[in-house]
Amino acid sequence: MDAMVSSRDGAEHGGDPTVRVLLVDDEALMRAGLRLMIDGAHGIEVTGEAADGAAALEQIRTSDPDVVLMDIRMPRLTGLEALQELQRSASTARVVMLTAFDTDEFLLRALRAGAVSFLLKDSPPEEVVQAVLDAAADRPRFSPEVLARLVRLAGGAAPQGEEAADGAAPAARTEEEVPAPEGITGREWEVARLVARGLANQEVGETLFMSVATVKTHLGRLYHKLQVTNRVQLAIRVLELGG
């Protein structure tokens, strides 16, 4: 999926495109804190709030935000249920799960349901701001604790020298070559493994000596064949397949 930052706001005033954000949390104090934290930072505009998943879905349908900061545990409709419903819709909003609960079950369910990133509620303000900006560009970001947990679940190891401090996607195992799964071409599998290591399209292209357009073509085919919708889900699927 190509990078998406709204151009309908800000551009008409000659400034940078504005990232429009919806805050979803059942605690009013938490929403107020998030608004103070990100509203107006680096072109971010908070355009709405919702206290549960059902209200969030309604606001997403009417206001079409670029990014949704979503809690997991909420009344009426949980964040995970809202996320699953959102994936069945035509919405292009990216979802960042922001929660105090970082259990393995919540993490994997959120990412498999289409969340771009997963942050803890005690994340520093600059990390939340960066996660919003990254989500608008379809780049995953995780709290260091969450990334370490994800790498452990996948059976991999954190990048040497970098650990998880930069919040990048987990690195795939590279000790041995793993044959491409049935239905996936060798070239597609090379692209998939590099994406699972956290490389951007440009970096994948440079590594494999192909254009960014060709990388995107391979990604589109991989999304379809592996039944995933974003790079995080693709990375998880690659790791599950032994890549």
* Segments making up each domain of the chain, as ranges: 11-145, 172-240
Are the folds of 11-145 and 172-240 the same?
Answer: no
| Chosen CATH of 172-240 out of 1.10.10.10, 1.10.3720.10, 3.40.50.150, 3.40.50.170 | 1.10.10.10
Q: What is the pTM of this model?
A: 0.66
**Where do the DSSP E strands lie in the chain?**
19-24, 44-50, 67-70, 94-99, 117-120
How big is the chain, counted in residues?
243
Distance in angstroms (rounded) separating the CA atoms of residues 217 and 35: 38
Domain 11-145 has CATH 3.40.640.10: no
Q: Residue 109's pLDDT is what?
A: 81
Q: Residue 177's pLDDT is what?
A: 64
Q: Per residue in 24-36, pLDDT tens?
A: 999 999 999 999 9
Distance in angstroms (rounded) separating the CA atoms of residues 91 and 68: 11
Return the higher-pLDDT residue of 66 and 146: 66
Res 234 pLDDT > 60: yes
Res 59 pLDDT > 90: yes
